[in-house]
Amino acid sequence: MPDIAILVKKWWKQILFTVLLSLLAVGVITFMKPRQYMSVTTAVPASSYTSDKSRIFSENIEALYAALGDPDDLDRVLGTAKLDTVYLAVADQFNLFDHYKVKEKGDAARSKSASLLKKNTVVMKSEYGELKVKVWDTDKNLAPQLANAVLGQLQAIHTNLLSAGNQATLKALIERKEKMQQLSDSASAERNELIRSQLVTYEKMIGEYQLIIDSKPPALITVENAKPAIWPDRPRRMQIMVATAVLSLLFALLAAIVLERKK
């Protein structure tokens, strides 16, 4: 293997040319890209038992469960974050087809702007079991609004999912109560007394389920809302240029060694 010092002395012009050419090419591409600001909003999962009516109406049950959920509860949220539904709603809310200067019209513009938002968004679970929603945008004031809006959409979807079971139960209770009221009109006095007792029970249960539905217990608890960033986050031009210089230098040295051996 040739001595590196001798190799550099002999091939320094070619090595320098390779490094400068690489820096020029990467620099043009990097500096042409618009700078983007990152904003992050943080949330933790709420316990799924917050949607259980026994949590409110039974003191013993309430004491058994914590207000916060398990980090594994975030897996469902991460799955939902991959759906286009979340980003379509946010794109409509902020008219992102204008912000992104999308050339398409109608539904195509809506889909394209949602796709661009999704590309600039990362929803992840941190090592501490928190949900992090990161959004990059060229407008440092818009980025936090988008991050908070994405979290808001995820919140709404999973809050509705938690309430879905209670809503179905409430509907069944109301229907059953109406049927029993119809039966009471044609029932005997003794039977009617029993029906009235059951109706009182149904009235109580309907009130309890209605209360838990109206309270809309959250699926996620926001720990920190996103704020505007002071400095742009990407592209990280200095790091990219340094990495380019190092890699191009290594490539040039390797090429010089190969060429020297062929002589």
HEC secondary structure over the chain: CCCHHHHHHHHHHHHHHHHHHHHHHHHHHHHHCCCEEEEEEEEEEECHHHHCCHHHHCHHHHCCCCCECCHHHHHHHHHHCCCHHHHHHHHHHHCHHHHCCCCCCHHHHHHHHHHHHHHCEEEEECCCCCEEEEEEECCCCHHHHHHHHHHHHHHHHHHHHHHHHHHHHHHHHHHHHHHHHHHHHHCCHHHHHHHHHHHHHHHHHHHHHHHHHHHCCCCEEEEECCCCCCCCCECCHHHHHHHHHHHHHHHHHHHHHHHHHHC
Q: Is the pLDDT of residue 132 over 70?
A: yes
- pTM value? 0.75
Amino acid 194: pLDDT: 77
Taking residues 9-20, what's their average pLDDT? 88
Amino acid 174: pLDDT: 84
Amino acid 131: pLDDT: 94
Please tell me the distance from the alpha carbon of residue 125 to that of residue 131, in angstroms, as a whole number.
5
**Among 42-46, 119-123, 224-228, which stretch is predicted with the lowest mean pLDDT?**
42-46
Amino acid 130: pLDDT: 92
DSSP bridge partners of 38: 136
Q: What is the pLDDT of residues 231-241, one digit of tens each?
A: 999 888 889 89
Amino acid 193: pLDDT: 74
Taking residues 14-39, what's their average pLDDT? 91
